[in-house]
Amino acid sequence: MGKLDGKVALITGAGSGMGRSMAVLFAHEGAKVVAGEWNAESLAAVVDEIKAAGGEVTGVQGNVAVQAEAEGLVDRAMAAYGRLDILVNNAGVMDLNQGIGELSDAIWERVLGINLNGPMYITRRAVPHMVAQGGGAIVNIASVAGLSGATAGVAYTTSKHGLIGLTRSTAWIYAQKGIRCNAICPGGVETNIMASIDPTKMDPAGSARLQVFYNTMPGALKPIDIANLALYLVTDEARYINGQAIAADAGWMAT
């Protein structure tokens, strides 16, 4: 028996990196997976991988920054499986390491749209279904940038601080309804998130300032390390863990 037998799990950003590792792992553990991803090619690849391993998956292409598309992920999960037990808000993009004085409106709107508005739209749509069925588990993939101001530009940092606030509010307000909500705050992880920005447009002064802290990073994690932690948080083994922002960073935040 798998740890997630009979569960339905919606994972955003499921086409690559941490999201793909979570989708594959959750399906291996018996979950019916709804894989949300904006890139059609990446989406097809993870769907094929899960099906080839004997798992059950529904792929949905969409941009979580667009309200209708974000909410549509939850709607597809309910239409396909009739319930939603697990939500992982994983989709995210980087900024350009800009400080507030150099920040452009375009970067602010893009990063906040995907990293914070998207999880809000999806969680808002999912929670009433979870309440009606008696509970659920939500994991938001934040970042050490949600715990520190030294790891990214102002847009990304603000988005991840906000995501931790969304996590804690949701955990507190719905705890008595059987819903748990936690955040994982990864440090350096070997993913392709840097492909979400144009490296030639990175702010040189901001990057130089952040490099001071990057130099203290003790090491990079693998996507499966985050997937394993997420799996634990959505199982009954973690039934008393709620409202937490857990750093998974090889000790980086201990510096």
Positions annotated as catalytic residues are 156
The DSSP bridge pattern shows strands 179-186 and 86-89 to be unpaired
Q: How far is CA 74 from the centre of its chain?
A: 15
50 membership: H or E segment, kind and range: helix 40-52
Q: What is the CA radius of gyration of the chain?
A: 17
Instruction: Tell me the sheet residues that pair with 221.
Output: 189
**Entry field: residues in the chain:** 255
What backbone phi and psi angles, to 5 degrees, belong to 227? Answer: -60, -40
Residue among 223, 214, 218, 159 nearest 191 (CA) = 223
